[in-house]
Amino acid sequence: MSDRVIGIDLGTTNSCVAIVENGTPVVIPNKGGYKTTPSMVAIMESGKRLCGHIAKRQAITNAEHTVYAAKRLIGRKWGSPAVRQTMEQASYKIIEGPHDDVRIELRSHSYSIPEISAYILQEMKSIAEEYLGGTVDKAVVTVPAYFNDGQRQATKDAGRIAGLDVIRIINEPTAAALAYGFGKQLERKIAVFDLGGGTFDISILELGNGVFEVISTAGDTFLGGEDFDRRLIDWLVFGFQKEHQIDLRKDKMALQRLKDVAEKAKCELSTSREADINLPFIISKGSEALHLQRTVTREKLEELTSDLVDRTISICRNTLIEADIEKSAIEDVILVGGMTRMPKIQEVVAAFFGVEPCKGVHPDEVVALGAAIQGSALIERESDVLLLDVTPHSLGIMIQGGYFHSLIPQNTTVPTQTSHVYTTVKDNQTSVKILVLQGESERAEDNELLGEFILSGLRRAAKGAVDIEVTFEISADGIVSVSAKDLENGQKQAITVTATSGLTEEEIRQMVQESRDYLVDQKANEAFEKQKQAAEKLIDEMQTLFPRVETAIAGADFGQDAIKKARSLMERAQKAIAMHDVPTLGDATESLGRTLNMFRGVIAKTKA
Amino acid sequence: MNVSVEQGSAQALIERGIARYVSGELPASEADFVAALKLEPDNSHARACLDWVRRLQKDEALAQVDVGAEKAAASSDWKLTPLTPARSGLTRPGMPSLRQTRSEDGARTDPSLSAFGELPVAPSSSVTDALSFETPGNPPADPSLLGSIEDVVSESARTGTFVRTARPSHGSGEWHRVPTAPNLMPLDVPELDEAALEGLVSIDTGVIRDRKLPLSAMPELHLPGDEPLVIEAETEDHLEPLRHVAIEFEEPPGTDPFMRGPGQEVQKGEFLAEQHRTASYTAQAIREALEERDLARGVALTGDLFRLAGGAEEVHHRAHRPLLDSLFTAVLGPLSGIPHHGRLYAELDPRSAFLLSRIDGVLSIEDLIDISGMPRLEALKVLCGLVLRGAVVLE
C-alpha cells in the first residue's frame, strides 16, 4: 500500500490528475504529453476498450460505441430530466438500469455509469502510476458543488471499481479555490467561473480561516466548449456546401476531421488573431478529391458564439441575485476550464464582475491541483491546511402544506447532530409519516427524497398537543440517521439513510473483479506483444544475416547444423506467435538471441 | 462417414477431414485436421482447414443463421442449411461451380448467405438473373443476358429423361484453370432438397460420366475445355430445384467481370456467380506478388479482392484472411509499430487522408486500425498504400 494520494479532476469532457511532490502540487502528463485526458470511453468490435485521447480520435466514426459526458448521468435516476436531456443528445444508447438507475449499452453489453467513470479513473490512475513508477491506490476526486449524495456515492463507487480508495470527494470550486489560495491566507469572497468542455458552473465561495464555503452555485450542464466547436464546424460546413454542394456532416470521416480541426482552431484563436484551417482531400466529388481551406478570425469565432458567451453571463447574474450577493462583494474571480482562455470570455467576465480574473492559475489544471493539495493534507500530519467535510445540501423533513423544513443546513461541517420538535396536525392523530429530504427548495417535492418511515402509537389528543422530536445525525462517514420520538410515551422510530449510486454491493464487487481481470488480461497481452516484437526483430535480423552466414560457414558441417538450427528456432518462434504461447516464445526468443550473437561473431571473424 | 485413411499420412487425414466437413461432421473433421497438424505442424492447408472449421463451430451467428435459414426454407422451394456439404465450399482448381442464385418468391435477404459474406439477394423484380434456368416453354426473356452460356433444358428422346445442358459458347476452346487458395473456402450453394435430387440420373461434366452424384456434394464441377455440363433427371420436376442454381464458367483471363462487351453490362445474378472465382484468381495473383516481393502490386490487388468478396469485412471472414495478413505484415511489420508522417503527397483519397490525419507519432498501427472507422483489412490496406508511397514511415 502506498501513501501517495493523487488528486483527480473527473471532468465531463476532460480529466486531469495531479500530485503534491516535495510540497509542490504538479499535474501529471499522460503518455502523449498532454496534461488533460478526454473523459471518453469506447468499446471496439473486438471488445477492446479505448480510453482518453485515442477514444476521442474515433468518437465520430464510432459514435454509437463511444461514451462521452458520462458525468452528466452519474448517480442520476432513470426518470430525471438530466437523463432525458442527455438521451436526446447522446449518440450512444442509454437504457434503464435494474435499480431505477441509468445504464449505457455498448455492443450489446450494458455498462453502469460508475463503471464507465471507473474506466476513466483507471486511466488517470495508470497515468499517475507510470509517472511515479509505482502503484497508487488513494485519491481525492472532485465533483460539481451541486452533486447530491447519490452522485457523490456513485463517484466513490467508480473509484472503487477502478481500484482506488477515494478518501475524499470535494467540490470542484472548492478545489479551485484551494489551489488558488495555496500558501496564502486569504479571507474574501471569490467567484469560480468554470466553463469546461461540456458544462458551465458558477460558484461563489467565502474563504476565511482556512474554511472554504460554497455560498451559491449554479450552471448549465449542457453548455461548454463543444458548443463553441459546433458553431465553428457549422460555419465550415456551410461554406463548403455553398462552394461544392456537399454536406460534409454526412461523411463520418470528414466530420471527425472537421471536429478535430475546429477544436484546434478555436484554441489557436485564443492566442492568435486568425487561424488557417486546412483539410486536404477531405472528400471526393466524382473522381476529384476536394480540399477544405479557410481562414477563421478571432472576430468570426466571437460572432459565431456570442449568444453562448452571453448565456454564461446571464447565469452569473441570476446566481448573484438568488444568493443576494452584490457584484462588488466579489474580490477575485478564478477562471476554470479550457474555454476560459478565450479572450472574449475573459473580457466579459472582467466587465461583469468589475475585476480582472486571476491569471495565476492554469484553468485546465487548477481543480486537479486543488484535489492533490487536499489529498496531501489528508495524509500529512504536519499540514497546516484544515479540511472539513461539509454537507453539500440541506437535510430536513416535509411538514404540513408540502413544505421542506431544514434541520441541517447546507455546508454544515460533519459529524453533526440536531433535533427539532414537531407536533400533530389533526385531532386524535396516532401516527405520523416522516419524509427525509435533501435539497435547497422550500417545496418538499422539489427536493430529493432520501427515505421515509412512520412513527405510530402516538397518544390520542387534540391537534398540536403531541410533541414529536425529530433528530438528524450525520456520522463522520457521512451516514445520516433520522429518528422520531413521541416525547410523552417514548415511542420511537428511526431509519439510517445511506447514499446509493444505483448499484448494489454485489454488483460493485463483481465490477471490481471484472476490472481487475481486465487489467490482468491487458498486462498479459502487453507482455505477449513485447515478446512478439522482440522475436520478430530477431527473426528479421537473422534473415538478413543468413546469406552472409551461409557464405561464411556453410562449407563446414557445423555451419550447416547451425543454419538448420537457426531456421528451426525461427519456425518455433513463429509458431509460438501464432499460438499466443508466451512461455515458448520467450524460450525461442532467448535462443534466437544467442544464435544471432553467434552469427554476428562468425561474420565479424570472417571479416577479420 | 466411414472413410479409412492411410496411417501416418497427413494428406490423407486432411482429405478425410474435408470429406467429413463436406458431410457436415464438423467435430470429426476438426479431429482429422488436428491429427494432420500433429503429424505435420507446418502444414498450412491443415491449419487453414482447422481454423475454418473451428470458426464455423464457434460462430454464434450461425445459430441465428440456422433459424433464419429454416424460416427462409419454409417459404422457399428448397431447404437451406448453413453447414451443408454444398456450402462447405471445397474449391478445386479449374472448376466451375454450381450455386444458388435466388428463388422467384420476390425480395429475400438470405441470412445464411449473408453470414458467409455474400451480397444480400436483391428483389428479383429489380435484378435480371442471367444464369438462372428457364423452364421449357418459357425461354429467357432476354437471350443476350445468357451471354456466354447456352443453357437448355430438353426432353431426351433417347432415354425419356429430362436433360439440362449448359455449354460455354464463346468458343475459346480452352477453359483456364482458376488458381485456388490452399484453404477451405465458403461457397454459397444451398443444400437442395434431397427428395428432388433423388431423381437425378447423372451429372456429366465430361470427366465424371454416368455417375449418380448428389449435387449437394459437388459445389464445384470441373468442366474442362468446352465440354458441356449435362444434368439428367428422371422427370422435369427433378430439374425444378436446379432452376435456381447458377453455373459458373470460367472466362478467359482479361475479361472484365463487370463488362461483357461494349455497352453490355453484366447483370447482378451473373456478377454474383463471377465474383467468387474471380476473387480466387485475384487471391492467387496477390500470393504471387507476395512471393515476388512486389508488395505494391499485392496491395493494389487487395482492392479488387475486397470488391469481389463484397467488401473488406467479408474478406475478414473468408479464407483469404491469412494471405492478406501476410501481405500487410510484409509491408508494415509488427502492428505495434508507430507510424509517423512521411513526405507530403500531392494526391490522396479521402480515406487515406483520414488515416493520415489520425497519425500522431504516439498511436501504434494497431491503435490506428481501431480508430480508423474502417474494417480492419481495409484500414491495413490503406495504411500499406500510404507506407508504400512514402506518405507514412514506420518507426
- Residue A59 pLDDT: 92
- Residue B128 pLDDT: 18
* Cell representation of residue A401: 402544506
Cis peptide before A415 (omega within 30 of 0): yes
Residue A492: strand pairing partners = A485
- Residue A533 pLDDT: 79
Point out the catalytic residue in the list A123, A149, A172, A332. Answer: A172
Most confident of A14-23, A214-223, B59-68, B169-178: A14-23
Q: Give A533's contacts in chain B (Cβ within 8 Å).
A: 334, 336
> Cα separation of A300 and A306, whole Å?
10
- Residue A595 pLDDT: 85
> Cα separation of B170 and B105, whole Å?
32
Regions in chain B scoring below 70 on pLDDT: 1-8, 19-25, 55-278, 314-319, 346
B338 touches chain A (CB under 8 A): no
Point out the catalytic residue in the list A9, A123, A157, A220. Answer: A9
Q: Which residue has the higher pLDDT, A272 or A456?
A: A272
Does A172 qualify as catalytic in the annotation? Answer: yes
| Shortest Cα–Cα distance, B340 to chain A (Å) | 14
Q: Give B349's contacts in chain A (Cβ within 8 Å).
A: 281, 284, 289
Does A71 qualify as catalytic in the annotation? Answer: yes
Q: Give A254's contacts in chain B (Cβ within 8 Å).
A: 350, 354
Cα Rg of chain A, angstroms: 30
- Compute the average pLDDT of residues A405-426: 88
A98's CB contacts (< 8 A; 6+ apart) are: none
**Cβ of B371 and A532 within 8 Å?**
no
For A394, the 3-state DSSP assignment is coil
> Cα separation of B89 and B319, whole Å?
10
Q: Beta A14-21 vs A403-408: how paired, if at all?
A: unpaired
- Residue B334 pLDDT: 81
Between A32, A57, A257, which is nearest B371 by CB?
A: A57
> Cα separation of B251 and A534, whole Å?
47
How many residues are given for chain B? 395
DSSP string covering A399-438: ETTTEEEEEE-TTPBSSEEEEEEEE-SSTT---EEEEEEE
Report the residue of chain A nearest B44, measured CA to CA.
Answer: A575
A178 within 8 A of A206, measured Cβ to Cβ: no
Domain ranges of chain B: 1-58, 82-265, 333-394
Report the residue of chain B nearest A533, measured CA to CA.
Answer: B334
* Cell representation of residue A54: 485515442
State how far Cα B16 lies from the chain centre.
22
- Residue B170 pLDDT: 34
- Residue A420 pLDDT: 93
- Residue A171 pLDDT: 87
Closest to A411 measured CA to CA, from A180, A216, A192, A606: A216
> Cα separation of A113 and B303, whole Å?
41
Report the residue of chain B nearest A571, measured CA to CA.
Answer: B42
Does residue A385 surpass a pLDDT of 60? no
**Cβ of A254 and B350 within 8 Å?**
yes
In this prediction, residue A146 has a pLDDT band, given cuts at 50, 70 and 90, of: confident
B334 touches chain A (CB under 8 A): yes
Three-class SS of A448-513: EEEEEEEECCCCCCCCCCCEEEEEEEECCCCCEEEEEEECCCCCEEEEEECCCCCCCHHHHHHHHH
| Shortest Cα–Cα distance, B83 to chain A (Å) | 25
> Cα separation of A216 and A406, whole Å?
17
Does residue A188 surpass a pLDDT of 50? yes
- Residue A342 pLDDT: 96
Residue A332: strand pairing partners = A190
Backbone angles phi, psi at B27, to 5 degrees: -60, -40
Q: Domain A225-306: which CATH class? A: alpha beta
CATH node for A505-607: 1.20.140
B123 touches chain A (CB under 8 A): no
Does residue A170 surpass a pLDDT of 80? yes
> CA angle at residue A342 from A341 to A345, to 5 degrees?
105
- Compute the average pLDDT of residues A147-157: 88
- Residue B278 pLDDT: 66
**Cβ of A289 and B351 within 8 Å?**
no
> Cα separation of A449 and A244, whole Å?
56
Q: Give A282's contacts in chain B (Cβ within 8 Å).
A: 350, 353
Point out the catalytic residue in the list A101, A157, A194, A226. Answer: A194
Does A157 qualify as catalytic in the annotation? Answer: no
Q: Which residue has the higher pLDDT, A227 or B48?
A: A227
Closest to B243 measured CA to CA, from B125, B135, B110: B135
* Cell representation of residue B40: 505435420
Three-class SS of B11-79: HHHHHHHHHHHHCCCHHHHHHHHHHHHHHCCCCHHHHHHHHHHHHHHHCCHHHHHHHHHHHHHHCCCCC
For B176, the 3-state DSSP assignment is coil
**Cβ of A58 and B352 within 8 Å?**
no
Rounded alpha-carbon distances, angstroms, from residue A214 to A377, A392, A564, A580, B264: 20, 9, 76, 56, 78
> Cα separation of A239 and B212, whole Å?
69
| Shortest Cα–Cα distance, B357 to chain A (Å) | 7
Q: Beta B392-394 vs B339-341: how paired, if at all?
A: antiparallel
B210 touches chain A (CB under 8 A): no
**Cβ of B348 and A280 within 8 Å?**
yes
Q: Give A284's contacts in chain B (Cβ within 8 Å).
A: 349-350
- Compute the average pLDDT of residues A162-181: 90
A330 within 8 A of A355, measured Cβ to Cβ: yes
Does residue A1 surpass a pLDDT of 90? no
Between B336, B348, B373, which is nearest A61 by CB?
A: B373
**Cβ of A253 and B360 within 8 Å?**
no
> Cα separation of A159 and A120, whole Å?
9
Q: Describe the crossing of helices B321-332 and B295-309 by its angle, rounded to 10 degrees.
A: 150
B219 within 8 A of B98, measured Cβ to Cβ: yes
B348 touches chain A (CB under 8 A): yes
In this prediction, residue A207 has a pLDDT band, given cuts at 50, 70 and 90, of: confident
Q: Beta A49-51 vs A40-43: how paired, if at all?
A: antiparallel
Quick one: A395-497 is in which CATH superfamily? Substrate Binding Domain Of DNAk; Chain A, domain 1 (2.60.34.10)
> Cα separation of A424 and A215, whole Å?
34
Q: List strand residue ranges (DSSP E) for A66-182, in order.
A: 66-68, 93-96, 102-106, 109-112, 138-143, 165-171
**Residue type at B48 in one-letter notation:** A
Q: List strand residue ranges (DSSP E) for B80-225, in order.
A: 98-100, 149-155, 162-168, 200-204
CATH node for A5-223+309-379: 3.30.420.40
Q: Which residue has the cell 454474383?
A: B272
> Cα separation of B180 and B284, whole Å?
7
pLDDT in tens, A441-454: 888 888 888 888 88
Report the residue of chain A nearest B360, measured CA to CA.
Answer: A32
* Cell representation of residue A72: 452528466
| Shortest Cα–Cα distance, B128 to chain A (Å) | 27
- Residue B145 pLDDT: 26
**Cβ of A62 and B363 within 8 Å?**
no
**Cβ of A281 and B42 within 8 Å?**
no
Report the residue of chain A nearest B354, measured CA to CA.
Answer: A253
In this prediction, residue A557 has a pLDDT band, given cuts at 50, 70 and 90, of: low
Report the residue of chain B nearest A292, measured CA to CA.
Answer: B350
- Compute the average pLDDT of residues A395-401: 91
Report the residue of chain A nearest B337, measured CA to CA.
Answer: A533
> CA angle at residue A265 from A264 to A269, to 5 degrees?
120
B336 touches chain A (CB under 8 A): yes
Count Cβ atoms within 10 A of the Cβ of residue A71 and give its class: 0-12 exposed, 13-18 middle, 19 or more buried: buried
pLDDT in tens, A280-323: 899 998 878 899 999 999 999 999 999 999 999 999 999 898 88
Interface confidence, given as ipTM, is: 0.76
Report the residue of chain B nearest A528, measured CA to CA.
Answer: B336
**Is the CATH code 3.30.70.1070 the one for domain B1-58?**
no
Q: Give A283's contacts in chain B (Cβ within 8 Å).
A: 350
Across chain A, mean pLDDT equals 88
**Cβ of A62 and B336 within 8 Å?**
no
pLDDT in tens, A462-481: 888 889 999 999 876 667 88
Between A62, A283, A575, which is nearest B350 by CB?
A: A283
Chain A residues at the B interface, defined by Cβ less than 8 Å, are: 31-32, 44, 48, 50, 53-54, 57-58, 60-62, 251-254, 256-257, 260, 279-284, 289, 529, 532-533, 536, 540, 571, 575
* Residue to substitute from A53, A251, A253, interface B, most B β-carbons within 10 A: A253
Report the residue of chain A nearest B355, measured CA to CA.
Answer: A253
Q: Give B332's contacts in chain A (Cβ within 8 Å).
A: none
**How many beta-carbon contacts under 8 Å exist across A and B?**
68
Q: Beta A165-171 vs A188-195: how paired, if at all?
A: unpaired
Domain ranges of chain A: 5-223+309-379, 225-306, 395-497, 505-607
CB atoms closer than 10 angstroms to residue B58:
9
Maximum Cα interatomic distance, chain B, rounded to a whole number of Å: 76
> Cα separation of A311 and A223, whole Å?
9
| Shortest Cα–Cα distance, B168 to chain A (Å) | 37
